[in-house]
């Protein structure tokens, strides 16, 4: 867990993390993931029942990095009641008329809820920075703004885990190629993705800035080697399960005496 956490005070370098890293046996790791799925299911039920904590999971990655795959494989089995996915695509005109955190705040988890952000406010210092969609003097203030915003959420009871699913340029090429060749996956391919791909070095620089400046004690970033999907899923699930265990959740006690209640005033047959 610590292995992949970005130190809040270090000079993090993205090139120190190998995207194709993976330890352990593939089949065994997949078995372990199944056990983690089960535990996550149980922890999420407690989260919902206890109605005390709020949990926010943020997923960021380059195209094909595996955000959808993580949502599918890590969260399959959890009760859709109490788990919500919020996707942040290109902002609408209405959203652009507001500050960039406006639409994000609306999707923040409530008590008992686990919300997964598929992309997030981090796009406002990633795609926005790479394409200079707003002037640098505007977006460069956002790292601190984001830290302040996330601190408020945390102080108000939100547990935040942020994951950067790290793949490399070769892996993206193979995954794009697969989307092109598989008729059931072509809908996921957007020719514009190739334009973004050409800006890979600029994106890596923008991600490095994000990871250095916004990995905090209250909202840490984890950089997950993601070329190997089985390893990626296992790492994300492990970190989430450990984090949720740390909340020491309990099913709430009844605020009445269950033994004093008789339904219809008679004992059951």
Binding site for a second copy (CB under 8 A): 49-50, 68, 71-72, 75-85, 87, 116, 118, 173-174, 176-177, 180-181, 183-189, 191, 194, 197, 251-254, 256, 258, 261, 263-264, 268
Q: Closer to a second copy at the Cβ: 11 or 267?
A: 267
Beta carbon nearer to a second copy, 246 or 265: 265
Q: Tell me the closest approach of the beta carbon of residue 205 to a second copy, in angstroms.
A: 20
Residue 218 CB, shortest distance to a second copy, in Å, is 25
Question: Between 24 and 77, whose beta carbon lies closer to a second copy?
Answer: 77
Q: Shortest gap between Cβ of 138 and a second copy (angstroms)?
A: 31
Rg of the chain over all Cα atoms, to the nearest angstrom: 21
Least distance (Å) between residue 22 CB and a second copy:
20
In whole angstroms, how close is the CB of 8 to a second copy at the nearest point? 30
Which token pair is 84? Answer: 């919500």
Minimum CB separation of residue 147 from a second copy in Å reads: 27
Nearer to a second copy, 49 or 247 (CB): 49
Q: Give the residue with the Cβ less far from a second copy, 151 or 197.
A: 197
| d(C-alpha 113, C-alpha 83), whole Å | 6
Q: Supply the minimum distance, in Å, between the C-beta of residue 82 and a second copy.
A: 8
State which residue, 77 or 157, has the beta carbon closest to a second copy.
77
Question: Is 152 or 180 the residue whose CB approaches a second copy more closely?
Answer: 180
CA distance 90 to 268: 58
CA-CA distance, 236 to 44, in Å (whole number)?
Answer: 15
């Amino acid at each position: 867990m610590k292995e992949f956490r970005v130190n809040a005070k270090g000079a993090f370098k993205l090139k120190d993390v190998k995207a194709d890293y993976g330890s352990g046996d593939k089949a065994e790791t997949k078995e372990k993931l199944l056990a983690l799925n089960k535990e996550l299911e149980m922890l999420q039920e407690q989260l919902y029942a206890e109605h005390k904590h709020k949990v926010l999971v943020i997923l960021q990655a380059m195209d094909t990095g595996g955000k959808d795959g993580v949502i599918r494989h890590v969260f399959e089995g959890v009760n859709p009641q109490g788990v919500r996915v919020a996707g942040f695509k290109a902002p609408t005109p209405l959203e652009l008329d507001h500050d960039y955190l406006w639409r994000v705040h609306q999707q923040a988890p409530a008590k008992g809820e686990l919300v997964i952000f598929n992309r997030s406010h981090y796009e406002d210092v990633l795609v926005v920075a790479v394409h200079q969609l707003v002037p640098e003097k505007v977006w460069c203030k956002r790292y601190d703004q984001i830290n302040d915003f996330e601190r408020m959420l945390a102080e108000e009871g939100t547990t935040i885990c942020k994951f950067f699913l790290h793949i490399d340029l070769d892996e993206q090429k193979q995954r794009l190629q697969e989307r092109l060749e598989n008729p059931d996956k072509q809908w996921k391919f957007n020719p514009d993705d190739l334009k973004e791909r050409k800006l890979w070095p600029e994106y890596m620089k923008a991600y490095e800035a994000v990871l250095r400046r916004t990995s905090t004690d209250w909202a840490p970033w984890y950089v997950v080697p993601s070329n190997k999907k089985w390893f990626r899923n296992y790492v994300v699930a492990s970190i989430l399960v450990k984090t949720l265990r740390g909340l020491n959740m309990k099913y709430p006690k009844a605020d009445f005496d269950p033994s004093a209640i008789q339904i219809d005033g008679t004992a059951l047959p």
